[in-house]
Amino acid sequence: MSETATAARAGRSRRRRQETSKGNLAAKAVDGETSTRWCADDGSTGHWLKVDLGSTRSLTGTRIAWELDKTNYRYKIEGSTDNTTWTMLVDNTATAGTGQVQAAAFRAQARYIRVTVTGLPAGAWASIRTLEVYDRPFSADLGTYKLINRNSTKVLDVADASTADGAGLIQWPWTGGTNQQWTLLPNTDGSFRLRNIKSGKVLQSPDSTQGATLTQGSDIGDDTQGWKLVPSTTSGYYRLVNVHTGWCADISGASTANRASVIQWPVTGGANQDWQLVAL
């Protein structure tokens, strides 16, 4: 997913100190890997991460994946054309948000982007896994992907290539069919909608029943259709966590069989809940 970021080079933390003993350098925030991160060298506030985009761009937004989920990081994002005069782009210094991935839309001309951490809960340090800066329409899709399950190596598929509301999701070997292709649509809260190319409908939680098969439905924009991409402990994979239920997309029974159902289930950390997004 880092191919959508325009960030070219990472700067350093505010006091020019980083957690060098563990290799958590500023450049790790823009290397496209969710298993690496930038981290300040202590738990105080005021540390910042800066990126140089190489030239002034017409920017449309940012997406930050923090080190920890369910953690209240407070911060501000500023932009500059000359690395001297800074303009506030995003003010989350009083946010109560605790999502690991947070997106913000804005319009600005800038070459430099600076994220300053202004508030942290006890025990947390300023630490970012990925910082993405966008110079494309932020409401537009972020590309088309196939989603590969780590346990089975099969892909997320709309059963029987159905275009009907309520059609169930299964896993199936990759065929290249459009019922196995998904566009990623960003929401302003940092979550995403996954829209099927074949049907034009989006992935959704059908209800609040644990173990229910995930379905597709017309895009109505509610939180049953919002999905957080939470980095897995295995590099390059994500858990798809539904905004409404808090449960994730799971292959039922950790099956490797064709046509096994994709269900909603509490996070267990199993490989059957890990998905790789491969751009098409």
From residue 76, give the alpha-carbon distance in Å to each of 14, 49, 68, 115: 13, 11, 18, 6
CA gap 216, 245 in Å, rounded: 16
Q: Which residues pair with 43 in a beta bridge?
A: none
Q: Which tokens hold the place of 19? A: 């957690």
Q: Residue 44: which pLDDT band, with cuts at 50, 70 and 90?
A: very high
Give residue 261's pLDDT.
Answer: 98
Q: What is the mean pLDDT of residues 116-143?
A: 85
Read off the pLDDT band of 60 (50, 70, 90): confident
Q: Measured between alpha carbons, how far is 10 from 118 in angstroms, rounded to an integer?
A: 19
Per domain, the residue ranges of the chain are 2-134, 144-279
Per-residue pLDDT at 17: 56
CB 76 within 8 A of CB 64: no
Q: Residue 139: pLDDT band by 50, 70, 90 thresholds?
A: low
Q: Are 250 and 265 in contact (CB under 8 A)?
A: yes
Look at residue 138 in the predicted model and tell me its pLDDT: 60
Tokens 């998905």: give the residue. Answer: 275
pLDDT at 149 > cutoff 70: yes
pLDDT at position 119 is 96
Domain 144-279, second-level architecture? Trefoil (2.80)
Reported as a single tens digit per residue, the pLDDT across 154-193 is 999 999 999 999 999 999 999 999 999 999 888 877 788 9
Query: For the chain, what percent of residues have pLDDT higher than 90?
Result: 61
SS3 24: strand
**CATH hierarchy code of domain 2-134:** 2.60.120.260
pTM across the whole model: 0.61
